[in-house]
Amino acid sequence: MSATNEPREELRKRIDAIESGYEFLLAYAAQGRATDKGGGTASRVREHLEAMQQALEGLGNVVRGVAASDPHDAATIGAPFFEALDRDAAAARSAIRLVLSRPDISSQLVDNLNASIHLRALLTDLFVVDEALKQSGS
């Protein structure tokens, strides 16, 4: 992999972790569980939340790294949007950390997290970034 592809690959991995985590959370919320303790799917909710939390750490810098190689000046044009993405990522990460701090993670708690405007805004930010930067040359 060339150096110019590294930021794009890193962004792809992070987006995948966030999107697949969100999809898992949607399914978990529908299960009506009181706790994440036990086996099977319930025990995997923390794993997905932790992966999402890690993917959110420094996400804005990764996006900026991809935008920096854009031949159409996405780094400058998108700067205010990337600041909004930073705020959305920080709020979503904080909400995820709060959920992870609970001794029991219920389906209701996850459903409320899924409905959070912060998490939804972050997902939408990532859809925009992913599409807008696909042709950035990186």
Q: Work out how many domains the chain is built from and give that number.
A: 1
Residue 45: inside a domain: yes
Q: How far is it, in rounded angstroms, from Cα 6 to Cα 57?
A: 17
Residue 101: inside a domain: yes
Q: Quick: pLDDT tens for 115-134.
A: 999 999 999 999 999 999 98
Residue 138: inside a domain: no
Q: What is the mean pLDDT of residues 95-101?
A: 98
Distance from chain centroid for Cα 17: 7
Q: Look up the domain containing 90 and give its range.
A: 6-132
pLDDT at 136: 52
Residue 27: inside a domain: yes
The single residue listed with the structure tokens 């780094």 is 75
Residue 19: inside a domain: yes
First to last CA, the chain: 11
Residue 1: inside a domain: no
Q: Is the pLDDT of residue 104 over 50?
A: yes
Q: What is the mean pLDDT of residues 72-79?
A: 96
Residue 115: inside a domain: yes
